[in-house]
Structure 1
Amino acid sequence: MSLKRFFSEKPMPMFDTDVDEVRLPEATHKRSGSSYYRSNQPQQPSYIRDHRKRLRERFLKGGATAIPDYEMLELVLFRAIPRKDVKPLARLLLETFGDFNGVISAPRERLLPIRGVGEAVMCELKIVEAAAQRLARSRVMQKHVISGWDAIVDYCHTTMAHRETEQFRILFLDRKNVLIADEEQARGTVDHVPVYPREVVKRALELNASAFILVHNHPSGDPSPSQADITVTAQINDAAQALGITLHDHLIVGKSHELSFRAEGYL
């Protein structure tokens, strides 16, 4: 049996845990010509090629609402895994992390141990996550916060709802209540993040901000405030008022909804 026949008939595993991309033979990089390049590209099985074509057409025709989460995830995985059926991996990721947002927001250390996830898959998922966050952020930066409150809440949810540890952010506003800065102030554990009122107010002064909004997430999914949340918010509010700076609100982001300190009477 020739070596060529042996390698052409060797069965491929469902997932390659080390390499997601197709790697071309070394000679491919040393010779020019599109026909040579195409002839050395490993070919997709027809059933995979046809499935991908139909799925892309359905997405382009009907948009995201026309396809479920696992097919949306397949579309993302197509680029990272060009030759294999990605449906099993898409379903495994959803079973592990719950939904599409949970998958793309999952931390690297939890994604990489999953069979079928390598650097290429990781990169594609994180590109989508970064794109979603940038899009949401572009809708709130340099915009009037009060008139665009829903966009603010959407941005906070997109950025923080699926994090597995607590994060504390501050949205700084100018005198016209236009958002001038969005900064992460601290990160913590699954149920605690260290916040120092003096540092919050100091940063507001450095930015010449007239007001700010506090935002942090609860990885448990329940946005109900703890006593520590209530206490530190009151301390920050007292420090801000002493310097003529307004604390508009404190948002706690849960998995499916958010809690406003202002709306709930804590401020």
Structure 2
Amino acid sequence: MSIREWPVAERPRERLLQCGAASLSDAELLAVFLRTGVAGKSAVDLARCLLKKFGGLRALMEADMSTFLGELGLGPAKYTQLQAVMEIGRRHLAETIEREPALCSPAAVRRYLKAMLRHESSEAFACLFLDTKQRPLGFEILFRGSIDSARVYPREVVKRSLAHNAAALILCHNHPSGVPEPSQADLHMTLQLKEALGLVEVRVLDHIIIGDGEPLSMVEHGWLKA
């Protein structure tokens, strides 16, 4: 049955307008994005099939172009629209962070860092540069590595900190495995960077590790003193 034949109160688009996006299931949200189904399947039916095939919404959104285009009902237009929607979300978070008078919302910072790095298929190391009042100056991915590690050079981190005229920064990297626990190499690298940045009077406020679930803070776990 076409969604147009459903009772109005049950249609995803109408429910979103009436109750908000949070009231919709993953399949219903995806159906709103897809807009149309395929022969014999409504947009919601197609969305459910796609989520089952990919194993969830995140896996679908992070699929590479060839995998995405290999599915019925998903073409180049849908792929470009999805990439645009994801980038809009990341930029919205970035602007939210930039509007803060200072980093008074650690949860917002972590959401932003997770949005910027969780989709990376290999390990990436980044910095959020801050001024003397802990207001964001910029975010940069400085190094990318294999799925196991990224080679991080303290000299380059110092160089980019000086280029931003940063007074402090938050280090961040992702674990593609989904497990945010730091390795001994992560801890050693963090202390190296803190020491190198200290020589140019740039404070390391935290090192956030992005995996599945809540990002991990080295400061909160006692592995780093800000």
Query: By the TM > 0.5 criterion, same fold?
Result: yes
Q: Read off the aligned partner of 1:89 and give its amino acid letter.
A: L
Give the whole-Å Cα distance in 2 for the aligned partners of 1:98 and 1:137: 28
Contact 2:197–2:204 (CA under 8 A) maintained in structure 1: yes
Cross-structure match for 2:108: 151
Cα pair distance change 1:144/1:214, threshold 3 Å: farther
Calculate the aligned-residue CA RMSD, in Å: 2.3
Give the whole-Å Cα distance in 1 for the aligned partners of 2:150 and 2:4: 47
Q: Read off the aligned partner of 2:2 and give its amino acid letter.
A: Y
Cα pair distance change 1:142/1:180, threshold 3 Å: farther
Match status 1:184 vs 2:141: yes
Contact 1:102–1:162 (CA under 8 A) maintained in structure 2: no
1:145, CA displacement in angstroms?
4.3
Contact 2:103–2:109 (CA under 8 A) maintained in structure 1: no
Give the whole-Å Cα distance in 2 for the aligned partners of 1:92 and 1:227: 42
Matches within 5 A, 1:73-222: 73-78=30-35, 85-222=42-179
Contact 1:211–1:245 (CA under 8 A) maintained in structure 2: yes
Give the whole-Å Cα distance in 2 for the aligned partners of 1:226 and 1:89: 41
List 4+ stretches of structure 1 deviating above 4 A: 81-84
Q: How many residues align?
A: 221
Find the residue that maps to 2:191 and give its secondary structure: helix
Find the residue that maps to 1:215 and give its secondary structure: strand
Match status 1:254 vs 2:220: no
Q: Deviations over 1:174-203 (max 9, x none)?
A: 111111111111222322222111100110
1:142, CA displacement in angstroms?
4.9
Cα pair distance change 1:106/1:141, threshold 3 Å: farther
Cα pair distance change 1:63/1:114, threshold 3 Å: same
Give the whole-Å Cα distance in 2 for the aligned partners of 1:243 and 1:140: 25
Contact 2:3–2:43 (CA under 8 A) maintained in structure 1: no
Contact 2:190–2:207 (CA under 8 A) maintained in structure 1: yes
Cross-structure match for 2:186: 229
Give the whole-Å Cα distance in 2 for the aligned partners of 1:52 and 1:208: 58
TM-score of the two chains, using structure 2 as the length reference: 0.87
For structure 1, which runs of at least 5 residues remain unmatched after alignment? 1-45
Q: Read off the aligned partner of 1:58 and give its amino acid letter.
A: R
1:143, CA displacement in angstroms?
2.6
Contact 2:54–2:60 (CA under 8 A) maintained in structure 1: yes
Give the whole-Å Cα distance in 2 for the aligned partners of 1:250 and 1:197: 14
Find the residue that maps to 1:230 and give its secondary structure: helix
Give the whole-Å Cα distance in 1 for the aligned partners of 2:188 and 2:7: 53
Find the residue that maps to 2:148 and give its secondary structure: coil
State the identity %: 37
Cross-structure match for 2:2: 47
Find the residue that maps to 1:248 and give its secondary structure: strand
Cα pair distance change 1:144/1:130, threshold 3 Å: same
Q: Which of the pair has more CA radius of gyration?
A: 1
1:154, CA displacement in angstroms?
1.1
For structure 2, which runs of at least 5 residues remain unmatched after alignment? none
1:62, CA displacement in angstroms?
1.1
Contact 1:217–1:253 (CA under 8 A) maintained in structure 2: yes
TM-score of the two chains, using structure 1 as the length reference: 0.75
1:100, CA displacement in angstroms?
2.7
